[in-house]
Amino acid sequence: MRPRSPAISRPIHIKAVLLLASTMTVLAGAIIAPSLPGMNRHFGGDAEVAVQLVLTIPALMITLFSPAMGYLADRFGRRNLLLVALLVYGVAGLSGFLIDRVDVLILSRAILGIAVAGIISISTTLIGDYFNATERARFLGLQGSFMALGGVVFLNLGGALADWSWRGPFLVYIAGLLLLPYARAVLYEPSAPTDTGNESGAPLSPEPFPWGRVILAYSLGLISMAMFYMVPAQLPFLLTERHEVSGTAIGLALSTTPMAAAVVSFTYGRLKPWLSVSTLYVIGFVLVAIGFSIVGYAHSYALTLVGVSLAGLGFGIFLPNTNVWLMRITPTAYRGRVFGGSSSAIFLGQFLSPLVVAPVAVLLGSLRDVYLAAAVLCLSLAVVMAMLGVTWLRHDDPLTPARGQ
């Protein structure tokens, strides 16, 4: 029997590295969330705001530094920058286990956020570099599924370690250091692009860079992530107002959305060849609108679960759909910068979500009305994307099997 060629198995290892790296971006925040009460007690009861910064500062750093990381990846190469980001991630994250000053801990978390900016931007860029369009759609769906499931797993893992010590969850960041030698052995630097054309061979003129479409994709990513974070940030308060629910019941409700999102993201690669990007956006926004409407009108815990599940199905479409669209329209030479900007927009949506919802809740009078207002926004976006799909965006997708056959 002839030995298996290394070329056959290498793509599997590459996919494993990129998936593991992608889940680390979720790990950056979720893993330490259960430690916040214990952290607050350790640093003193008046350190609550500083402790909350420990959780949120990475998202702000990701927002600020993702475009710069994308530029560096385009300018100096992907592989080595990703390896450096993994090293910094592991050291900065693991240092939280030893640090005993809250200001130094915040600084280490800021450095962690910069490293995450590099990991998420370059990992997604490498997916575009390594795989063709068909493989890319399937793998981006798998990436979205892993990231959604990672949120559920890491929240529970963080809770278990936080029961031992508030420092316990910081030990998990050693994963960055463990992944580093594997990534170094498996990843290779993609060939430098020879022109600025995109994968479809579209002409470079009259619009060599699709500014309008990229800005639209960024806007949709920001809005969808802001609405996604309405579930973990606002749903516990809504459930507490309406029902006498336990912490376990709240946890179940919160995990329902990413679980549903993971299922849809996993099947995205099978849906995409038959449906255009704009059509998938329409389906996603309609599902979220229905789900949030049910949450707004629900008078029982069970019906609320149905609502957040339907919303999760819609949210599962957005991330892989945005990434597939950007890879389709972006000139290869600008791919790192474009995905750096995309990461920035997504994490800005995460950071802004509670800041926007709070005044809207005051204006409308209740969280119930906030969910209903978000449902109206989603329906409006579905109408807009349906109109754009038959006008401005109608040529953005290649022929699908359904059309070509």
Please tell me the predicted confidence (pLDDT) of residue 405.
Answer: 39
Q: Are residues 81 and 111 in the same domain?
A: yes
Same domain? For 168 and 227 the reply is: no
pLDDT above 60 (res 237): yes
Residue 383 has pLDDT above 70, yes or no: yes
Instruction: Assess whether 134 and 236 both reside in one domain.
Output: no
Looking at the fold, whether 143 and 234 belong to one and the same domain comes out as no
Residue 80 lies inside a defined structural domain of this protein: yes
Average confidence (pLDDT) over 244-261: 81
Q: How confident is the model at residue 350 (pLDDT cuts 50, 70, 90)?
A: confident
Examine residue 266 and state whether it is found in any structural domain, yes or no. yes
The count of domains in the chain is 2
Residues 231, 146 within the same domain: no
The pLDDT, as a whole number, for residue 8 is: 43
pLDDT above 70 covers a percentage of the chain that reads 90
Q: Is the pLDDT of residue 187 over 50?
A: yes
Is residue 202 one of the residues assigned to a domain? no
Assess if residue 198 is contained within a domain.
Answer: no
pLDDT score at 185: 93
Judgement on whether residues 85 and 29 belong to the same structural domain of the protein = yes
Is residue 37 domain-shared with residue 111, that is, in the same domain? yes
Going by pLDDT thresholds of 50, 70 and 90, the confidence category of residue 5 is: very low
380 in the same domain as 293: yes
- pLDDT tens track for 152-172: 787 778 878 888 888 988 998
Same domain, 182 and 220: no
In this prediction, residues 327-351 reach a mean pLDDT of: 88
Give the separation between CA 210 and CA 142, rounded to whole angstroms.
26
Tokens of 330: 């972006």
Q: Is residue 288 part of a domain?
A: yes
CATH of the domain at 352: 1.20.1250.20
One domain for residues 221 and 304: yes
Residue 346 lies in a domain: yes
Residue 404 has pLDDT above 50, yes or no: no
Of 187, 219, 252, which closes a domain? Answer: 187
Lowest mean pLDDT among 214-228, 240-254, 270-284, 304-318: 240-254
Which pLDDT does position 46 carry in this prediction?
66
Higher pLDDT: 219 or 52? It is 219
pLDDT score for 9: 64
Q: Give the residue-averaged pLDDT of 362-375.
A: 92
Q: Quote the distance between the C-alpha of residue 10 and its chain's center.
A: 26
Residues 270 and 131 in one domain: no
Q: Domain range holding 100?
A: 10-187
Confidence of residue 43 (pLDDT cuts 50, 70, 90): confident
* Per-residue pLDDT, 4: 45
In a domain, 3, yes or no: no
Q: Does 161 lie in the same domain as 61?
A: yes
Tell me the mean pLDDT in the region 40-44: 82
pLDDT at 240 over 90: no
Mean pLDDT of the chain: 85
57-106 pLDDT per residue, tens: 888 899 999 999 989 988 888 999 999 999 999 999 999 999 988 889 99
Residue 284 is predicted with a pLDDT of 97
In a domain, 320, yes or no: yes
Give the per-residue pLDDT at 206.
44
